[in-house]
Chain A
Amino acid sequence: MSMTDEPLYPIAVLIDELKNDDIQLRLNSIRRLSTIARALGEERTRKELIPFLSENNDDDDEVLLAMAEELGVFIPYVGGVEHAHVLLPPLETLSTVEETCVREKAVESLCRVGSQMKESDLVEHFIPLVKRLAAGEWFTARVSACGVFHIAYPSAPDTVKTELRSIYTQLCQDDMPMVRRAAATNLGKFAATIESAHLKTDVMSMFDDLTQDEQDSVRLLAVEGCAALGKLLEPQDCVAHILPVIVNFSQDKSWRVRYMVANQLYELCEAVGPEPTRTELVPAYVRLLRDNEAEVRIAAAGKVTKFCRILNPELAIQHILPCVKELSTDSSQHVRSALASVIMGMAPVLGKDATFEHLLPIFLSLLKDEFPDVRLNIISKLDQVNQVIGIDLLSQSLLPAIVELAEDRHWRVRLAIIEYIPLLASQLGVGFFDDKLGALCMQWLQDKVHSIREAAANNVKRLAEEFGPEWAMQHIVPQVLEMINNPHYLYRMTILRAVSLLAPVMGSEITCSKLLPVVMTAAKDRVPNIKFNVAKVLQSLIPIVDQSVVEKTIRPGLVELSEDPDVDVRFFANQALQSIDNVMMSS
Chain B
Amino acid sequence: MNGGDDEDVVVVAASSGDQSPPLQWRFSQVFGERSAGEEVQPVDMISAIEFDHSGDHLATGDRGGRVVLFERSDAKHSSGGRRDLEETDYSVRHPEFCYKTEFQSHDPAFDYLKSLEIEEKINKIRWCQTANGALFLLSTNDKTIKYWKVQDKKIKKICDINADPSGAVGNGIVANGVPEALRLPVVTSHESSPVAKCRRVYPHAHDYHINSISINSDGETFISADDLRINLWNLEISNQSFNIVDVKPEKMEDLSEVITAAEFHPTHCNMLAYSSSKGSIRLIDLRQSALCDSHSKLFEEPDAAGSKSFFTEIIASVSDIKFAKEGRYLLSRDYMTLKLWDINMDSGPVSTFQVHEYLKPKLCDLYENDSIFDKFECCISGNGLRAATGSYSNLFRVFGVSPGSTETATLEASRNPMRRHVPVPSRPSKLGSILGRAGGSESTAGVDGNSSNALDYTTKLLHLAWHPNENLIACAAGNSLYMYCA
Contacts and interface: CB of A to CB of B under 8 A. Distances in A.
* A in complex with B: yes
Best-surrounded residue of A11, A19, A48 (most CB of chain B within 10 A):
A19
A216 B269 CA distance: 7
Contacts of B149: 98
Contact of A140 (B132, B176, B184, B236): B132
B287 A256 contact: yes
Contacts of B151: 58
Given A98-B134, A256-B287, A215 B178 contact: no
Best-surrounded residue of B129, B149, B167 (most CB of chain A within 10 A):
B129
B450 interface: no
Contacts of B419: none
A504 interface: no
A3 B176 CA distance: 7
B169 interface: yes
Given A4-B177, A5-B177, A58-B154, A19 B187 contact: yes
Contact of B182 (A11, A96, A99, A181): A11
Contacts of B268: 214
Contacts of A1: 163, 167, 169
Given A18-B184, A19-B187, A52-B184, A13 B220 contact: no
Contact of B220 (A11, A177, A293): A177
Given A138-B132, A140-B132, A5 B179 contact: yes
A40 B151 CA distance: 34
A216 B270 contact: yes
Contacts of A181: 220
B36 interface: no
Interface string A50-72: 00100110100000000000000
Interface string A65-101: 0000000000000000000000000000000111110
A294 B290 contact: yes
Contacts of A216: 218, 269-270, 286-287
A254 B268 CA distance: 12
Nearest to B162: A12
Contact of A4 (B158, B163, B217): B163
A295 interface: yes
Contacts, number: 118
B288 interface: yes
Interface in B142-156: 149, 151, 153-154
SS of A interface (majority)? helix
Contacts of A97: 132
Interface string A240-274: 00000000000011111000000000000000000
B269 A215 contact: yes
Contacts of A292: 289
A295 B177 contact: no
Contacts of B179: 4-5, 8-9, 12
A217 B167 CA distance: 58
Interface string B154-178: 1000100111000101001101111
Interface string B270-301: 10000000000000011111100000000000
Given A8-B182, A9-B179, A216-B269, A139 B218 contact: no
A76 to B, nearest CB: 19
Contacts of B85: none
Contacts of B199: 99
Q: Size band of the A side of the interface?
A: 35 or more
SS of B interface (majority)? loop
Interface in A268-300: 292-295
Contact of B290 (A9, A56, A178, A255): A255
A1 B162 CA distance: 11
Nearest to A11: B182
Nearest to A218: B218
Q: Size band of the B side of the interface?
A: 35 or more
Given A8-B182, A9-B179, A177-B217, A15 B162 contact: yes
Contacts of A178: 129, 219-220
Contacts of A294: 290
B93 interface: no
Contacts of B182: 8, 11-12, 15, 36, 39-40
A16 interface: yes
A516 B158 CA distance: 70
Contacts of A160: none
Given A8-B179, A40-B182, A216-B269, A16 B162 contact: yes
Interface string A134-155: 0000111000000000000000
A176 interface: yes
B472 to A, nearest CB: 25
Given A16-B162, A16-B185, A58-B153, A3 B134 contact: no
Contacts of A12: 162-163, 172-173, 179, 182
Contact of A5 (B133, B178, B221): B178
Given A217-B221, A254-B286, A254-B287, 20 more contacts: A3-B173, A3-B175, A5-B178, A8-B178, A8-B179, A9-B163, A12-B163, A12-B179, A16-B161, A98-B131, A98-B149, A99-B199, A140-B132, A214-B269, A215-B269, A252-B287, A255-B287, A292-B289, A293-B288, A294-B290
The 4 closest A-B pairs by CB, nearest first: A12-B162, A254-B287, A3-B177, A98-B131
30 contacts: A3-B176, A3-B177, A4-B169, A4-B173, A5-B177, A5-B179, A12-B162, A12-B172, A12-B179, A12-B182, A15-B183, A15-B184, A16-B163, A19-B158, A19-B185, A19-B187, A52-B184, A52-B185, A97-B132, A98-B134, A99-B199, A138-B132, A138-B133, A177-B218, A178-B220, A215-B217, A217-B221, A217-B269, A252-B287, A256-B287
Interface of A: 1, 3-5, 8-9, 11-13, 15-16, 18-19, 36, 39-40, 48-49, 52, 55-56, 58, 96-100, 138-140, 176-178, 181, 214-217, 252-256, 292-295
